[in-house]
Chains A and B, each alone.
Chain A
Amino acid sequence: MALAPGRPKPKPTPETKHFWDGCKAGKLLLQRCVETGRAYFPPRPFSPYTGSRNVETFEASGRATLHSYVIHHRPVPGFEPPYAIAVVELEEGPRMMTNIIDCPQTPEALVLDMPMVVAFTPLDDDITLPLFRPAQEAK
């Protein structure tokens, strides 16, 4: 799927570059605190649980559930209303904001806790966004 032009483009920082490089390579990279084993997001080079810098980056499964969302009905550059602005809960624990593709943008189709899988979607040559689609629609 091609994204409509005009969507705001994220600008990676030294602390987040690995995440965006991962998305471009088709990998959803999370980090975890080595001491507690707990994963976290958004990226940072230390554990938000302990303050330790002993963290590691790993590839997440890409499986998630739909945690909550709104369906926006007003025009925004780069988006065609109505469109859902969703938060998914990754299998590893952290949550992230995303959009849901391959699914009607309706309350009837978007059921909380439904299984989702990551769908890497290029924004342009630099940035690929981790969007999600319903798991039953997965190829």
Chain B
Amino acid sequence: MSYKPGSVAVVGAAESTKIGAVPGMSQIMLHADAALNAMAECGLKPGDIDGVACVGPMMPQQIAHYLGITPTWVDGTAVGGCSFMLHVRHAAAAIAAGYAKTILITHGESGKSRINGTPRPAEPESLNGQFEVPYGPFGPPTLFPIPVLRYMQATGTTHEHLAQVSVVTREWAAKNPRAMFRDPITIDDVLGSRMIAYPFRILQCCLVTDGGGAIIVTSADRAKDFPTKPVYILGSGESVESNMVSQMEDFTSSRAFRVAGPTAMKMAGITHSDVDHLMIYDAFAHLPLYGLEDLGFCKRGEAKDFIWEGNTRPGGKLPLNTNGGGLSYTHTGMYGMFALQESIRQMRGTAPAQVAGAKVSIAHGVGGMFSASGTIVFSNEQP
């Protein structure tokens, strides 16, 4: 049994009070700060929460105990930066199943200041430790872009096309006072920026920041009693592939995307033309291209032209990554929470770069190195 489209709603959603450089908070307090903000806006206390989800290494028992919550349901699904999309999906199912009534999903990461930050070990006997680490990858900038040259060859995508992703994303960031980088950039700026791991330069890699976010979901029936405007969950999808990028089935397309995205849209009963607003987790500049194609917004090889022609920029027909994305807004290490927050803001009508009249928003997440994916379809109208 699945939850019915629109039967579960977001009633609380907030980010940490500060994002970017937050040297005054440890990782667990970034969780708590966002959770307190989310509870405050919808008039809840920790004692009102009966479900908790967060992503490792922070375990649900740490967050529950820190905040003073006695849950009847927890979820510690940890599949990388899109884990929060999966948490929302699992929470909706749990509410439909009666395991919990009011679920809090939190994220906090001291990605920049590293105050009790997430360790990133790769055990030498793990498969990654044996079959990838000895060849010199050093974090996501050296791993996530490994398929890009193959994608470029297969689709005719150029360096200029990939630079344009960063340029357009920065246009959105310019409209967002909380974005870390807001000054306009050109293709020449991108292609002249410091080389990190060819073919990607620093302006094609996400930021590394501190921050947190929290989401509270409950049944749509109960949502009507909250002071906040309900944002309904119409559909959701999830999948995983491999956490070894070298073992990706197809370097030009994410299998996890191709499962999660269509599953969510089918459940929601929507077509591409119903989507007013789109978030595609942009840890690196190629991800919006993969997302647009794997979710079916563009045919194979056409995402580069779709972005180049201005369809995703301010005023375009499919506003994409309107907060400024992981490329210019913020990226703590697990950006999926912030993509969800922006979709929720757009559905509430409170986004800094609000898309006028938007009724349906998709937040599509990726787990590091294409290892996982989660997709949520939101609406401000109950079907």
Contacts and interface: CB of A to CB of B under 8 A. Distances in A.
Contacts of B251: 67-68, 87
Interface in B244-258: 244-247, 251
Interface range on chain A: under 10, 10 to 19, 20 to 34, or 35 or more? Answer: 35 or more
Which residue among B132, B135, B245 has the maximum number of chain A CB atoms within 10 Å of its CB? B135
A10 B131 contact: yes
Interface string B238-272: 00000011110001000000000000000000000
15 contacts: A11-B129, A20-B130, A68-B150, A71-B198, A72-B136, A73-B194, A73-B196, A78-B136, A79-B136, A85-B142, A86-B135, A97-B132, A99-B136, A107-B199, A112-B150
A8 interface: yes
A41 B130 CA distance: 12
Contact of A85 (B122, B130, B135): B135
Contacts of B131: 10, 41-42, 96-97
Nearest to A87: B246
Interface of A: 7-13, 16, 20, 41-42, 67-74, 76, 78-79, 82-83, 85-87, 95-99, 107, 112, 123, 127, 129
A41 B127 CA distance: 10
Taking chain B's interface residues, is the majority helix, strand, or loop, or is none over half, making it mixed?
Answer: mixed
B125 A11 contact: yes
A74 B195 CA distance: 9
Given A85-B137, A87-B146, A112-B153, A97 B129 contact: no
Interface residues of B, number: 36
Interface in B116-144: 122-125, 127, 129-138, 142-143
Contacts of A95: 246-247
A96 B123 CA distance: 18
B146 A69 contact: yes
Which residue among A7, A8, A97, A98 has the maximum number of chain B CB atoms within 10 Å of its CB? A97
The 5 closest A-B pairs by CB, nearest first: A10-B130, A71-B198, A11-B125, A68-B150, A97-B246
Contacts of B200: 70
B298 interface: no
A70 B136 CA distance: 11
Contacts of B125: 10-13
B149 interface: yes
Contacts of A42: 127, 130-131, 244, 247
A42 B242 CA distance: 12
Contacts of A68: 146-150, 251
Given A8-B124, A67-B251, A73-B195, A123 B146 contact: no
Nearest to B138: A76
Contacts of B194: 73
B197 A9 contact: no
Contacts of B136: 7, 72, 76, 78-79, 83, 85, 99
A71 B135 contact: no
